[in-house]
Structure 1
Amino acid sequence: MSKSFDMELFLTGVLPGSQATRKRHLRQAAIIHAAIAARWQRETPWAWQRKHVAWFLDHHLDRRSEATRSYYRLTIRLLVRRLEKSWVFK
């Protein structure tokens, strides 16, 4: 039996801002995690590659508004910082 991944624990050290901002980042990180896990079968962020996150931005959010994509990019920057990667997205 596998345990579900705890995104809140994963992002604890890098979550800035107010309680509402923290909740938004956690909710969006969970959505990113679920989409990548469903498409690529990557159960933890440590297994992600840059192409997985780029796929999420390019294809999963393609019909969303620019404001929504901007908020997701902020959350992805937190995830990348926590993973200690040097990934940059347009």
Structure 2
Amino acid sequence: MSQPFDMELFLASVLTGSHATRQRHLRQAKIIQAEISERWQRQTPWTWQRKHVAWFLEYRLGRSSEDTRYYYLLTVRLLARRLEKSWIFKRYQDVRRPDDGG
């Protein structure tokens, strides 16, 4: 019986920032993992291809707010950094940080 994949351990070397920021990235990475696992039967990030992450960004976040897409994109960039991949998502290159002041 294999152990469940530990996303926190996987991202430990690239997670920085406040406790809340680290927790947000972990929560979002686990959501990404669950969605890709359900759709593509790819259990760990080591087995992901760019197309799997692009599918998540395009189809699972397609109707989400720009703010939500921005924060998931930051998490995707952390995942790519940890995987040592140079994934570029052209559609999301111009996504900007949400305004802090409403």
- TM-score, structure 1 as length reference: 0.98
Structure 1 or 2, whichever has the larger Rg, is 2
What RMSD in Å do the two structures reach over aligned CA positions? 0.6
Structure number having the greater helix percentage: 1
- TM-score, structure 2 as length reference: 0.86
1:65 is aligned to 2:72: no
Once residues 75 and 16 of structure 1 are traced to their aligned partners in structure 2, the CA distance between those partners, rounded to angstroms, is 11
Where 1:2 maps in the other structure, the secondary structure is coil
Taking every aligned residue pair, what percent have the same amino acid on both sides? 71
Where 1:3 maps in the other structure, the secondary structure is coil
Higher RCO, Cα 8 Å, sep 6+:
1
Partner of 2:22: 22
Could you tell me how far 1:2 is from its partner in structure 2? Answer: 2.5
Once residues 2 and 83 of structure 2 are traced to their aligned partners in structure 1, the CA distance between those partners, rounded to angstroms, is 22
Once residues 46 and 59 of structure 2 are traced to their aligned partners in structure 1, the CA distance between those partners, rounded to angstroms, is 21
Partner of 2:84: 84
Structure 2: runs of 5+ lacking an equivalent: 93-102
Could you tell me how far 1:32 is from its partner in structure 2? Answer: 0.2
Which residue identity does 1:79 align to in structure 2? Answer: L
Could you tell me how far 1:36 is from its partner in structure 2? Answer: 0.2
Could you tell me how far 1:68 is from its partner in structure 2? Answer: 0.2
The 4+ residue runs of structure 1 with deviation greater than 4 A are none
Could you tell me how far 1:63 is from its partner in structure 2? Answer: 1.5
